[in-house]
């Protein structure tokens, strides 16, 4: 009997003592799984969330996460083909002239916008910038436009666009066309290579032909600026991440050299007006010729208008030119800020503070206020014969209108970012669910092992 009790006691003691290592091992496994899952979740949200840098601070441009990386060719023979609805990332060395191909049908309009992104801290001249043109296979230019840094001589993203309009005489017919991007007047600039972001958009013809004359009469009086208390709305770091705003007063803080991106949904028949204010400085003195740049781009990232202001340390404001209501036939005007208001959709506001402000007024952020007005009743669009690419680029959706109030992405936002966001949320949910299943399973397995050891000990008795 004594031997049996001794054997039982030793067996029981070993079973009980074994529980602590088992529990510790189980907890260690769970902890390791939590660490791994946390790292994966952080990586997922890093892809789908906003940039880590503070908005309005000098830093990297916010490229679209869905951009395809392509190289610009030195000639037409090996030019990579862009596709309508696509977004691309490339580069432009100083002194280079690069080519990209694009295949067009005979009836659709095509627009390619190129955003040049000089590195922070680079030196640029006032007349330095990019020139973008669209050419046919014979080398005839359909259109060309340029974008420069102007009197601020402050490096920041600037965009220029080129178009093939199907009804124009120079570039009729379908086939291979070429987008040509080159630096202009770069002699006074440093030799840094610039980043490029390219977007290609197709606009189908109208189902029924309309007038080909620009509107002769519209209210061109300077509208009264919107009043009221400013609401905080952090700007984005690029076109793809632009924060949505609607009618109202919006404010964010910007450091010298920083750039903010916003977008405003504007429907057919609606009229946009914008005033930007740069708040007063707490210290410093001097005068900066072009302290603030305000630029407006249309839904295909084509330049519409720009304005700037000088600064002595006290509050200043500047407004865009009076803009016409959005109408299809605005494209027939020869005036840029009328011609550019040819589509419904998201119009982009880009605000940049000159790096020269830091020399006179310090590195601290300054408040920038946007007073945005959207007048007029929306009406139906012109009636396209097919869908554009991207599909919803010339629409203002219910989501867009809601985002203008809440600050969300809106229905007209970048599709690849939406996919990433949904994927991130889905992946996070799956990973969290998996964590729960693994934890429960581990506890059940370890609990089962302990019960089996207890049964074995009892059997031994």
**Given a cut of 50, is residue 158 above it in pLDDT?**
yes
**Given a cut of 70, is residue 150 above it in pLDDT?**
yes
Phi, psi of 110 (to 5 degrees): -130, 140
In a domain, 303, yes or no: yes
Distance (Å) of CA 422 to CA 237, 427, 430: 21, 8, 12
Claim to verify: residue 392 and residue 261 sit in the same structural domain: yes
In a domain, 136, yes or no: yes
* DSSP code per residue over 168-195: SSTT-SSEEEEEEEEEES-TTS--PPEE
For residue 226, what pLDDT is reported? 92
Q: Is 361 exposed, middle or buried (0-12, 13-18, 19+ CB in 10 A)?
A: buried
Claim to verify: residue 260 and residue 159 sit in the same structural domain: no
Claim to verify: residue 452 and residue 397 sit in the same structural domain: no
- Position with higher pLDDT, 6 vs 319: 319
Claim to verify: residue 403 and residue 426 sit in the same structural domain: no
Number of domains, the chain: 3
Q: Which of 21-25, 250-254, 374-378 has the lowest mean pLDDT?
A: 21-25
Average pLDDT (50-59) is: 51
Claim to verify: residue 31 and residue 171 sit in the same structural domain: no
Element (H, E) at 35: helix 2-48
**Given a cut of 90, is residue 380 above it in pLDDT?**
yes
In a domain, 60, yes or no: no
Interval 328-346: pLDDT, tens:
999 999 999 999 999 999 9
Q: Which domain holds residue 169?
A: 65-203
411 pLDDT tier (thresholds 50, 70, 90): low
User: What CATH number corresponds to the domain at position 124?
Assistant: 2.60.120.380
11 pLDDT tier (thresholds 50, 70, 90): very low
Claim to verify: residue 316 and residue 448 sit in the same structural domain: no
For residue 209, what pLDDT is reported? 85
pTM metric for this prediction: 0.80
For residue 299, what pLDDT is reported? 98
For residue 187, what pLDDT is reported? 83
In the numeric block, the tokens 């000990």 are attached to 457
Give the count of beta carbons closer than 10 Å to the beta carbon of residue 440. Answer: 10
For the chain, percent of residues with pLDDT exceeding 90: 67
Tokens of residue 246, six digits = 């609607």
Residues 6+ away with beta carbon under 8 Å from 446 = 22, 23, 26
Interval 199-210: pLDDT, tens:
999 999 999 988
Strands 243-244 and 259-266: parallel
In a domain, 166, yes or no: yes
**Given a cut of 60, is residue 76 above it in pLDDT?**
yes
In a domain, 379, yes or no: yes
For residue 449, what pLDDT is reported? 52
For residue 185, what pLDDT is reported? 79
Claim to verify: residue 303 and residue 440 sit in the same structural domain: no
Interval 433-456: pLDDT, tens:
443 444 444 455 555 554 545 444
């Amino acid at each position: 009997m004594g031997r049996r009790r001794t054997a039982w006691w030793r067996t029981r003691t070993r079973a009980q003592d074994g529980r602590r290592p088992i529990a510790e091992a189980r907890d260690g496994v769970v902890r390791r799984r939590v660490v791994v899952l946390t790292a994966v979740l952080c990586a997922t949200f890093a892809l789908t969330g906003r940039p880590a840098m503070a908005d309005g601070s000098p830093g990297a441009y916010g490229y679209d996460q869905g951009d395809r990386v392509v190289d610009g060719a030195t000639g037409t023979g090996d030019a990579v083909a862009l596709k309508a609805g696509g977004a691309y990332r490339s580069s432009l060395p100083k002194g280079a002239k690069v080519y990209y191909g694009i295949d067009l049908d005979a009836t659709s309009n095509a627009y390619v916008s190129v955003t040049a992104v000089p590195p922070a801290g680079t030196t640029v001249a006032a007349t330095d910038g990019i020139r973008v043109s669209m050419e046919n296979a014979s080398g005839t230019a359909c259109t060309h436009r340029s974008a420069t840094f102007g009197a601020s001589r402050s490096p920041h993203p600037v965009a220029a666009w080129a178009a093939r309009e199907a009804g124009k005489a120079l570039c009729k017919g379908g086939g291979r066309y070429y987008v040509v991007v080159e630096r202009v007047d770069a002699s006074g600039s440093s030799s840094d290579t610039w980043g490029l972001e390219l977007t290609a958009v197709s606009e189908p013809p109208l189902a029924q032909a309309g007038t080909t004359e620009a509107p002769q009469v519209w209210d061109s009086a300077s509208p009264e600026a919107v009043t009221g208390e400013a609401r905080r709305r952090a700007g984005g770091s690029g076109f793809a991440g632009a924060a949505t705003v609607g009618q109202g007063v919006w404010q964010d803080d910007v450091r010298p050299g920083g750039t903010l991106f916003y977008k405003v949904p504007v429907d057919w028949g609606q009229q946009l007006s914008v005033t930007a204010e740069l708040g007063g400085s707490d210290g410093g003195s001097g005068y900066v010729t072009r302290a603030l740049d305000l630029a407006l781009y249309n839904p295909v990232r084509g330049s519409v208008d720009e304005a700037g202001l000088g600064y002595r340390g006290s509050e200043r404001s500047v407004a865009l030119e009076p803009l016409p209501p959005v109408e299809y036939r605005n494209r027939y005007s020869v005036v840029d800020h009328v011609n550019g208001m040819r589509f419904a959709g998201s119009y982009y506001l880009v605000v940049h503070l000159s790096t020269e402000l830091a020399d006179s007024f310090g590195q601290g952020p300054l408040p920038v206020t946007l007073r945005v007005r959207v007048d007029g009743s929306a009406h139906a669009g012109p009636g396209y014969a097919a869908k554009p690419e991207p599909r919803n680029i010339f629409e203002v959706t219910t989501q867009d209108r809601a985002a203008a109030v809440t600050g969300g992405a809106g229905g007209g936002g970048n599709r690849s970012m939406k996919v990433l966001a949904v994927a991130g949320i889905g992946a996070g949910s799956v990973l969290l669910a998996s964590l729960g299943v693994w934890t429960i399973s581990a506890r059940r397995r370890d609990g089962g092992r302990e019960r089996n050891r207890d049964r074995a000990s009892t059997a031994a008795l």
